[in-house]
Amino acid sequence: MSETCVRVSVIIPTHNEAQAIGRVLADLPCDLVTEVIVVDSNSTDGTREISAKMGARVIEEPRRGYGRACLTGMANANNPEVIVFLDGDYSDRPAELPILLAPIIEGRADITIGSRLGANRNSEAMPWHQSLGNRLAVSLIRPLYGLKISDLGPFRAGRASVLRALALEETTYGWAVEMILKGTLAGFRVVEVPVSYHPRLGKSKISGTLKGTVGAAWFILSRIVRYYFQRRRAGAARSV
């Protein structure tokens, strides 16, 4: 897969990200991106208008759910080879897209995850309760699935054919693990790469509150356990 000809669709879920979305879109490397899809959920602050003015294709998705926004973006992508998912709050830096794409383009990965825990991490970017939930999740994934990752960061990419094969369906924050775990169970190569991480622009709808973080953690941890036991049951059925 050549970097110069690969078709890359970037999907950005948004809800009231007017403070950040302009910087996110401006920093995307235009030579690597074929299309940008902003999937907006009922923004009232001008997010949609800013996105459209800067050349993104805006799709309104009134139904709530982070995973639902990502699925809506996938369903509307224009024949991509690689799909990138990126938050609209400027905590991850779009200019680092080449780091995320390199393992896929070079044929070393099917799915890549940007780890926010490297040397370039801003210590104030991730609240303690979000960091704790993240560590708990990856500590379960390692022994249960044999996948050595350090983070469940939202800045991620995957071959479009692989993502379609996984039949992704999570509409909540369970989306954060569904792609990774289903990919691992199906034998696809999941590779983590280091990215920088910064305090978001604007107020977080999830990690900004303890209640939101606990809710997201519940969806993530319950899916980790659910997919594990689904695999166990499937294995037991095949051995009968």
pTM of the model: 0.88
The answer, yes or no, to whether residue 237 has pLDDT greater than 50, is no
pLDDT confidence band for 125 (50 / 70 / 90): low
pLDDT in the model for residue 222: 84
The answer, yes or no, to whether residue 41 has pLDDT greater than 60, is yes
Residue carrying the six token digits 């997010």? 47
The answer, yes or no, to whether residue 207 has pLDDT greater than 60, is no
CA distance 94 to 96: 5
The residue among 67 and 239 whose pLDDT is bigger is 67
pLDDT in the model for residue 119: 58
pLDDT in the model for residue 192: 96
Name the residue type at position 27: D
What 8-state DSSP symbol labels residue 6? Answer: -
CA distance 23 to 130: 24
CATH classification code of 8-233: 3.90.550.10
The answer, yes or no, to whether residue 209 has pLDDT greater than 70, is no
From the number of C-beta atoms within 10 Å of its C-beta (0-12, 13-18, 19+), residue 38 rates as buried
The answer, yes or no, to whether residue 94 has pLDDT greater than 70, is yes
pLDDT one-digit tens code per residue, 165-206:
999 999 988 888 999 999 999 999 999 999 998 887 766 555
User: Could you tell me if 21 and 14 are in contact, meaning their C-beta atoms sit under 8 angstroms apart?
Assistant: yes
Delimit the domains of the chain by residue range.
8-233
148's CB contacts (< 8 A; 6+ apart) are 142
CB atoms within 10 A of CB 106: 10
CB atoms within 10 A of CB 197: 23
The residue among 54 and 1 whose pLDDT is bigger is 54
* Beta strands at 156-159 and 111-115: parallel, antiparallel or unpaired: antiparallel
